[in-house]
Amino acid sequence: MPSLSSAHTPLDIDAERLWSSLMDMAKVGPSPNGGSRRLAISDEDAAGRRLLLDWVEALGCTWHRDEAGNLFILRPGQDNSLAPVAIGSHLDTQPLGGRFDGVLGVLGGLETLRTLHDHQVTTLRPLTLVVWTNEEGSRFSPAMAGSGVWSGRLAQDAFFDAKDSQGVSVSEALEATNQRGDAALGSPELDAYFELHIEQGPVLEETDEPLGIVTGVQGIRWYDLRFEGQSVHAGPTPMSYRHDPLLAATAFIQAMRDELGDDRDARLTVGDFSVIEPSRNVVPGAVKVQLDLRHVDETRLSELDAAVTRLAQSAAEREGTRVDIEPIWHSPVTPFHDDLIRTLGDAAKARGNEAPQMMSGAGHDAVNVSHVAPTAMLFVPCLDGISHNEAEYASPEHCALGTQVLCDAVVAWANR
Amino acid sequence: MPSLSSAHTPLDIDAERLWSSLMDMAKVGPSPNGGSRRLAISDEDAAGRRLLLDWVEALGCTWHRDEAGNLFILRPGQDNSLAPVAIGSHLDTQPLGGRFDGVLGVLGGLETLRTLHDHQVTTLRPLTLVVWTNEEGSRFSPAMAGSGVWSGRLAQDAFFDAKDSQGVSVSEALEATNQRGDAALGSPELDAYFELHIEQGPVLEETDEPLGIVTGVQGIRWYDLRFEGQSVHAGPTPMSYRHDPLLAATAFIQAMRDELGDDRDARLTVGDFSVIEPSRNVVPGAVKVQLDLRHVDETRLSELDAAVTRLAQSAAEREGTRVDIEPIWHSPVTPFHDDLIRTLGDAAKARGNEAPQMMSGAGHDAVNVSHVAPTAMLFVPCLDGISHNEAEYASPEHCALGTQVLCDAVVAWANR
């Protein structure tokens, strides 16, 4: 009979195998400059999942999909009446995405299953490796959608009816790629959820830390703003007679930046700024701005939310324009589970690392899962903090260390 | 034998006929909200010219086109060995254009020809009514292209090879619409050139003046700026680690605005601002800005030109980004001809108007023509200063007064 693992029988992962699998997965939907392009629920995304399934089937694992296409890979435990301990992340990428965002979490989970298989270890509780559908949100909005609809945080209509820029819905894409399953959303109940991810930020690298234990996720607020003025010919209208929405919008963005001051925990991003009916020699009639605000402290995030309205309206008024502000998403600050955080910290220490605690600046599937199961995350550094970019890079050593600590923590938790 | 006109035999135009022709022309290529859409060298543009030709053929006028499609309508004088006196403007419009921009100048010229015909007056010098090709520049860049290539201010390659967004060149469009003529560019030599136009600004309306004598045109400088930074995920990167080109670009625009101060003669317009590969939750990697700067004083315009480089580079540096600045066009301040300015002023006075002198903020075909023939312009107010817009409006009374003064001045000049 296979034995339980313990602190006395260390389960060492195979770092070279992990790296090789990461590089093999990157070649599915390769992007021009060495990254990956596996848009959610595309043929490339399905091919990436198929490669993973080839690997786990070789370990004797079974698998199924739920109605949202979320993929659950199962490794039995000694007591399969207990809820499984989950490891998860995603395989879909940005249009010009990297090789690690999401992929490391899934293939770190794969390496955990392979390591247990190598050592013929069966944990007390069963394990499940989850691949969530459409985490990136770049083909179908919103992001983290598969985990959202699974956890009940996202309405089913909003998930299934979302359309890409070609008018294809998620439902249609799931059918076309044969990714829709039969399992009910919300099943199975999870005992706990662990997610390993690249930091997607520069903090670990700057502080020379190879690991971070994530204690929660920043609150996020998204806005669509539309500044409306009056379109007039560029030359003959003195500045004082104009109603220029572009000057209002740019003044607003600068005012928000000033509002942040030197608050290191605040993030302000304008990912899109566009002129309606642009023409070189015409004052725009309207300008659209997409705003993304984040903070680790919910009270401060609320203050910044109030500042959006106040500063947008005052900037609009100063230019004789008006502004519509549509708050389109609010994800409050999400704390993770203390016991899982401690388990990850203990596993890191046992491997010689005093991993610092930190908040995540990015949203992750773990945020959704944390509302229905105990959850925690582990970060490894990525080069220059770059992600959502073909140049995204995490070193083999950091990928291996993160996967080792993930494996150790999952096994410890599954055997508790 | 037809008589010369003189101050003793006033030639009164027919205001109702003028208005009726303006409204008839607006119906050629009608836009959804009561304006016009006659993109340069389109079928609609050709149809507008055909309607004009029907009208002038009824007056016994002849006409021809030059190689650039510029249309010359000829009314003989008593001495046809003398160079003709020209009236001109354009019939092409913006995509959602108005009924008066350019059209008033052409149909004011038509009404002048009709009035002379009614009164059986033949001027000493012949007259020519000119319709320039592609003044607007919205389908094919640059603007004022037909008068530009005719006057030698625009290279022939730049004119004929310019392509629209569908890849159709000016040459191809001229052939397709049968607008290419045989006459050589630069012919005929003009004795003088008069252009009536709506102000396209608010100054006459604000000062309650029905007419303005244009003494020249503001200098114009156009720039393409590209701010380049580093695309990173919105959440995890503290502001101090970012290289955000959008924050640099918006700071630059606000700095330029501050640089203008309360200089009433300066104009700053950003007609387009776009993010390369926009994504809501990604710091942009690059941002493009189109800038249009104008001033009536060339020295001050040069100072502002220097400020573009200085302020763009300092804004880019502050954000850890870089900027490429491409100056793509410079039209220096253009003074018009003193004798023609005086003739227009005298004609206005004779009709009871102390028309103020003013500089034009918009570029016009007259700027190009002024380099090869004595030139002046006349402005009438337009509602709220709006143009390049379906809502563009000039009252029947102002159109009639402008046309009357144009007619009187042209006849006086042609008979001098």
Decide if B238 and A203 are in contact by the 8 Å CB cutoff: yes
Is the per-residue pLDDT at A4 higher than 70?
A: no
Of B218, B254, B287, the CB nearest to A235: B218
Cβ count near A314 (within 10 Å): 14
Contact A200 B238 (CB under 8 A): no
| Residue B185 phi, psi dihedral angles, 5° rounding | -60, 140
Nearest CB partner across the interface for B241, out of A202, A239, A277: A202
Mind listing the pLDDT tens digit for each residue in A238-255?
899 899 999 999 999 999
**pLDDT at residue A236 is higher than 90:** no
Q: How far apart are CA A398 and CA A376, in angstroms?
A: 18
Chain A residues close to B257, C-beta within 8 Å = 239, 247
Cβ within 8 Å, pair B280-A220: no
* Confidence grade of residue A22 (pLDDT, cut at 50, 70, 90): very high
> What is the least distance, in Å, from the CA of B42 to any CA of chain A?
19
Q: Which residue of A has its CA nearest to B236?
A: A361
The predicted pLDDT at position A2 comes to 43
| Chain A partners within 8 Å of B199 (Cβ) | 236
- Model confidence at B400, in pLDDT bands (50, 70, 90)? very high
Query: When comparing pLDDT for A147 and A388, which is higher?
Result: A147
Distance from the Cα of B311 to chain A's closest Cα (Å) equals 15
Q: Which residue of A has its CA nearest to B232?
A: A386
Residue-wise pLDDT for B140-167, tens only, equals 999 999 999 999 999 999 999 999 989 9
Model confidence pLDDT, tens digit, residues B213-236? 999 999 999 999 999 999 888 888
| Residue B6: predicted pLDDT | 47
Q: Is the model's pLDDT at A1 over the cut of 80?
A: no
Q: pLDDT by residue (tens digit) across B324-346?
A: 999 999 989 999 999 999 999 99
How distant is the Cα of A216 from the closest Cα of chain B, in angstroms? Answer: 12
CB-CB neighbors (< 8 A) of B264 in chain A: 238-240
Q: Please state the rounded mean pLDDT for residues B384-391.
A: 84
User: What domains does chain B contain, in order, with CATH numbers?
Assistant: 15-218+333-414 (3.40.630.10), 221-331 (3.30.70.360)
B94-120: pLDDT as tens digits = 999 999 999 999 999 999 999 999 999
B32 upstream amide cis, omega within 30 of 0 = no
Confidence at A7, pLDDT banded by 50, 70, 90: very low
Confidence of residue B2 (pLDDT cuts 50, 70, 90): very low
pLDDT digits (tens, 9 = 90+) for A178-227: 999 999 999 999 999 999 999 988 899 999 999 999 999 999 999 999 99
Mean pLDDT, rounded, of chain B: 95
The answer to whether B235 contacts A267, with C-beta atoms less than 8 Å apart, is: yes
Q: Using CB atoms, which residue from B200, B203, B230 is nearest to A233? A: B200
Q: Which percentage of chain A shows pLDDT scores above 70?
A: 98
What's the average model confidence in pLDDT over B63-92? 98
The CA-atom distances, in angstroms, between B55 and each of B49, B58, B77, B244 are 10, 5, 19, 58
Residue A281 near residue B143, CB atoms below 8 Å = yes
ipTM of the complex: 0.76
Summarize pLDDT for B161-188 with one digit per residue, the tens. Answer: 999 989 999 999 999 999 999 999 999 9
Residue of B nearest to A390 (CA): B231
Residue-wise pLDDT tens digits, A38-60: 999 999 999 999 999 999 999 99
Whether A236 and B260 lie within 8 Å, measured CB to CB: no
Contact A388 B282 (CB under 8 A): yes
Q: Mutate one of B214, B270, B311, B390 to test the A interface: name it (highest A CB count within 10 A).
A: B270
- The predicted pLDDT at position B286 comes to 98
- pLDDT attached to residue B3: 47
Nearest chain A alpha carbon to B142: A280
The shortest CB-CB distance from A278 to any of B200, B272, B385 is to B272
Cβ of B282 within 8 Å of Cβ of A275? The answer is: no
Do B236 and A270 make contact, defined as CB atoms within 8 angstroms?
Answer: no
The pLDDT score that the predictor gives to residue A3 is: 46
Residue of A nearest to B274 (CA): A274
Pick from A96, A234, A271: CB nearest B292: A234
- Contact list, B253 vs chain A (CB under 8 Å): 246-247, 250
Residues of A in contact with B249 (CB under 8 A): 250
Residue A342 neighbours by CB under 8 Å, 6+ apart: none
Residues B237, A201: C-beta atoms closer than 8 Å? yes
CA distance B156 to chain A (A): 23
Report CB contact under 8 Å: B277, A96. Answer: yes
Which parts of B168-280 fold into alpha helices (H)?
170-176, 203-206, 245-260
A236 to B389: CB separation less than 8 angstroms, yes or no: no
Q: For residues A8-33, give the mean pLDDT.
A: 94
Question: How far is A42 from A45, CA to CA, in rounded Å?
Answer: 5
Give the burial string for B20-53 (b: 16+ CB within 10 Å, else e).
ebbeebbebbebeeebbbbbbbbebbbbbbeebe
Inter-chain contacts counted by CB atoms under 8 A, chains A and B: 247
Q: How far apart, in whole angstroms, are the C-alpha atoms of residue B64 and residue B265?
A: 40
Would you call A94 and B246 a contact, using CB atoms and an 8 Å cutoff?
A: no
pTM, 2 dp = 0.75
Closest A-chain CA to B202: A237
Q: Chain A partners of B234 at a C-beta cutoff of 8 Å? A: 267, 269, 271, 292, 294, 361-362
CB spacing of A234 vs B206 below 8 angstroms: no
The backbone torsions φ and ψ at residue A183, rounded to the nearest 5 degrees and listed phi first, read -65, 140
Q: Is B112 helix (H, G, I), strand (E, B) or coil?
A: helix
Euclidean distance between CA atoms B165 and B158, whole angstroms: 16
How many Å lie between the alpha carbon of A176 and the closest alpha carbon of chain B?
26
Contacts with B287 from chain A: Cβ below 8 Å: 273
Closest approach of A81 to chain B, Cα-based (Å)? 39
- Collapsing DSSP states into helix, strand and coil, what is residue B79? coil
Please judge whether B202 and A253 are an interchain contact, meaning their C-beta atoms are less than 8 angstroms apart. no
Indicate if the pLDDT at residue B4 is higher than 80: no
Give how far B232 is from chain A: nearest CA, Å.
5
